[in-house]
Amino acid sequence: MQTYLRGRNLIGDLDFTREEVETVLDVAFDLKRKRALNELTPYLRDKVLAMLFFFSSTRTRGSFEAGMAHLGGHAAFIESKSTQISHGDTDKEIGEIFGRYFDGLAIRQVDWGGGNKYINSVAEASRVPVLNMQCDIYHPFQILADLMTIIEKKGRDLKRKKMVVSWAYASSYQKPMSVPQSLILQMPRFGLDVVLAHPPEFKLMPEIMAMAKDEAQKYGAGFDVTDDMEAAFKDADIVYAKSWGAMVHTPDPEEGAKIIKKYAHWITDERKMALAKPDAIYMHPLPADRNVEVTDAVIDGPQSVVFDEAENRMHVQEAVMALTMC
C-alpha cells in the first residue's frame, strides 16, 4: 500500500502507478463501508475544494460536493461563464490565486485540443493538488469508479476477463473521447483483456493507443481493435458501450455529425447483449441517450450496473481527495 500521496495531482490516468491506484481503491472501499455504517469520516475538516466547470455536469458536481461534505470540508462551485474567467483570468492566474484560496482545485474542461493543456497549465502554477474532473483526453475519476465497480461485480482477480469498450451511436452531440481513452489505459493494468470496437472514423488519439498497447504488454493483458460491434460483444464479461466524437478523423462538428448518422445501428440492445456471457455486466458513465445508444431494456435490465457505477464516483473521489488534500 502506497501511503504518501499528499499534494499529488491527478490529471492523467497514468499519473498514479498501479500500486497507488490500488491504494485509492482500498480507501474507497473503506469509505463506502463507513458510509453504510453511518460512521463519520472528517478527514478534510475545514478544507475547501474549488470546482471549476467549463462544461455542464450532473454526477460530477453532485458527487464532488457530497464527497467533500462527507469528508468534513466544503466544495465551492465555480462556473467559468459567470466569472471573470470568461473575460480575462488566465490559467496561470487561476493556479496562482485559487492555489492560495483553496486546498485543492478540481477542473472540468473538455474543449478539444485545449482542455488538458489548460488543466496542466493551472497545475504548474498551483501550490495545491489539481484534480481532473474530465478533459478532452482523460476522465480518470470515472475510470476509477468503473474499476471499483468491476471489482465489486467480478472480484479482484480480473486476469483474462474480457472487457469490450465500444463506440455507440448518439445523435445529441460529438461527445468527448476521454472515457474510452482512459478505459484502455487503466484497465489493462489490472489484467483485463480489452477489445476496443468502433467504426473506422472514430479512432482514438494515436499517442493514447500507443500507451494502451504498452500498458497491456507490461501487464500481460490483451488489447485488440475491431470495427465489428457484434464480434466484439461475443463472450464478453464486461460491456462498456458509449458514444464519442470523430475528432481525430475531423475536428469539424458538422462533418462529424454527418459521420455519426451513418452508424445508427451501433446501439446496445438485448440481441447484442445476448452475445456476451450470461453473467456479463453492462456499464455506461451516464447520461446515456436512451433507445439511441442503449435500449431501456438493457440499461434498466438485470445486467446493468450503471447506478452502482455512478455511486462509486463519489467513493473514489473522496478517496483521492482524502489522500492528496490532507
pLDDT at 319: 98
- What are the domain boundaries of the chain? 13-139+313-325, 142-309
pLDDT at 206: 98
C-alpha distance from residue 257 to each of 91, 159, 175, 233 (Å): 31, 38, 11, 25
3-state secondary structure of 165: strand
Nine cell digits for residue 23: 491504494
CB 27 within 8 A of CB 3: no
C-alpha distance from residue 132 to each of 80, 119, 160 (Å): 15, 7, 30
In angstroms, rounded to a whole number, what is the distance separating the alpha carbons of residues 215 and 162?
16
Hey, do 13-139+313-325 and 142-309 end up sharing a CATH topology, with the first three levels equal?
Answer: yes
Q: Which CATH number fits domain 13-139+313-325: 3.40.630.30, 1.10.645.10, 3.40.50.1370, 3.40.190.150?
A: 3.40.50.1370
- 177 secondary structure, DSSP code: S
Q: pTM for the complete prediction?
A: 0.97
pLDDT at 324: 98
* Owner of C-alpha cell 461485480: 153
pLDDT at 276: 98
* Owner of C-alpha cell 453504510: 36
pLDDT at 302: 98
Strand partners, 234: none
Strand partners, 239: 164, 282
In angstroms, rounded to a whole number, what is the distance separating the alpha carbons of residues 179 and 184?
9
Scored b (16 or more CB within 10 A) or e, 232-270 reads bbeebbbbbbbbbbbbbeeeeeeebeebbeebeebbbee
Q: Give, rounded to a whole angstrom, the gap between the first and last alpha carbons of the chain.
A: 17
In angstroms, rounded to a whole number, what is the distance separating the alpha carbons of residues 232 and 229?
5
pLDDT at 230: 98
In angstroms, rounded to a whole number, what is the distance separating the alpha carbons of residues 1 and 23?
6
Residues 6+ apart with CB under 8 A from 160: 191, 193
pLDDT at 47: 98
3-state secondary structure of 77: strand
Superfamily of 142-309 according to CATH: Aspartate/ornithine carbamoyltransferase (3.40.50.1370)
Helices 140-154 and 178-186, axial angle in degrees (round to 10): 50
Strand partners, 294: 268, 290
What are the 10-residue block averages of pLDDT along the chain, 326 residues in total?
95 98 98 98 98 94 98 96 87 97 98 97 98 98 98 97 97 88 98 98 98 98 98 98 95 89 96 98 97 97 98 98 97
In angstroms, rounded to a whole number, what is the distance separating the alpha carbons of residues 27 and 225?
34
232 alpha-carbon distance from chain centroid: 21
3-state secondary structure of 154: helix
* Owner of C-alpha cell 453492462: 282
